[in-house]
Structure 1
Amino acid sequence: MKYPIVLKKIIGVENYKTYVPDLPGCEGNGVSIDVSLNNINDSIAAHLSILAEYGEAIPHATTIENHLAAYPNVIWCIIDIDITPYLGKSHKINVTLPELLIKQIDNRVSKSSAYKTRSGFIASACISELNK
């Protein structure tokens, strides 16, 4: 999931503050833009772990446009987070699909490093559809 990130330079000091508007309370900072973005990545992972631990739903990412009014004069970044580890324990299910569709899925999985397995591809497609 691609979360928009607010990056703001703190005036008067060598420090950057980061916020994830779609994950209230998820913040980070760092002495440079790179350090700050690395730190917010860790903060997001910790935040999602806590939500998963308490059985809370993972908030959907929205667009930067949804937050422009609340965060003027900042730098916007996007961080792509694989949320599947935070969705709970995996369960095996039986799914019936047309043969041609299975071949197309397998072809895409074999050509893309984004999907490691057929199940991973199907899970990503489901998450994408549910986020609409």
Structure 2
Amino acid sequence: MTNYIGLIRKDPESDFGVDFPDFPGCVSAGSTLDEARAMAKEALEGHIACMREDGEAIPAPSSLEDVMADPENRDAVAFLVEAPDVDRLVRVNVTLEESLLKAISDRAPNRSRFLSMAAREKLARDSMPA
């Protein structure tokens, strides 16, 4: 399991906000600390899932020292958020018939995701007892 640093921030008139230095734009909030932590885990899982769908690389977790060295983070409270298993993406070249590639492209704008899903389905079917 991989853990990423979440930063909790609280202004006097706001909920507890959470952001992730390793994932700009991934933010969450909660009215209590417990709710903020739970919502942060959900937000991180969703953000990583979207990155995977888009074929984006998932960053390695930053160190606490690096995160807290940023003056913007000095007033935040750091905590660890468990992320889903992050399997590194690897670029490969494949050879397909032109008509098959066109059919895939017409059906799915993200060909890598389509091929990954098709491979997983085939492997799952092949591993079932007859």
Task: Please give the range of the TM-score, normalised by the shorter of the 2 chains.
Answer: 0.5 to 0.7
Q: Which residue of 2 aligns with 1:110?
A: none
Contact kept? 1:41, 1:79, Cα under 8 Å? yes
Q: Which residue of 2 aligns with 1:53?
A: 53
Which runs of 5 or more residues in structure 1 are unaligned? 93-132
Q: Which residue of 2 aligns with 1:37?
A: 37
The total of aligned residue pairs comes to 91
Q: 2:74 aligns with which of 48, 72, 75?
A: 72
Normalised by the length of structure 1, the TM-score is 0.61
Which deviates further from its counterpart, 15-24 or 58-67? 58-67
Let me know the Cα RMSD of the aligned residues.
2.4
Whole-angstrom distance in 2 between the partners of 1:86 and 1:27:
23
Using the TM superposition, give the Cα deviation of residue 85 of structure 1 relative to its aligned residue in structure 2, in angstroms. 6.9
Using the TM superposition, give the Cα deviation of residue 74 of structure 1 relative to its aligned residue in structure 2, in angstroms. 1.4
Normalised by the length of structure 2, the TM-score is 0.62
SS in 2 for 1:24: coil
Whole-angstrom distance in 1 between the partners of 2:22 and 2:8:
14
Q: Which residue of 2 aligns with 1:117?
A: none
Which runs of 5 or more residues in structure 2 are unaligned? 90-112, 121-130
Using the TM superposition, give the Cα deviation of residue 64 of structure 1 relative to its aligned residue in structure 2, in angstroms. 1.5
Contact kept? 1:30, 1:39, Cα under 8 Å? yes
Higher-Rg member (1/2):
2
Which deviates further from its counterpart, 63-72 or 17-26? 63-72
Query: Runs in 1 of length 4+ with deviation above 2 angstroms?
Result: 82-92
Residues 90-132 of structure 1: per-residue CA shift (max 9 Å, x gap) = 979xxxxxxxxxxxxxxxxxxxxxxxxxxxxxxxxxxxxxxxx
Contact kept? 2:57, 2:88, Cα under 8 Å? no
SS in 1 for 2:47: helix
Contact kept? 1:51, 1:58, Cα under 8 Å? yes
Using the TM superposition, give the Cα deviation of residue 86 of structure 1 relative to its aligned residue in structure 2, in angstroms. 8.3
Q: Which residue of 2 aligns with 1:2?
A: 3
Using the TM superposition, give the Cα deviation of residue 79 of structure 1 relative to its aligned residue in structure 2, in angstroms. 1.1
Contact kept? 1:49, 1:86, Cα under 8 Å? no
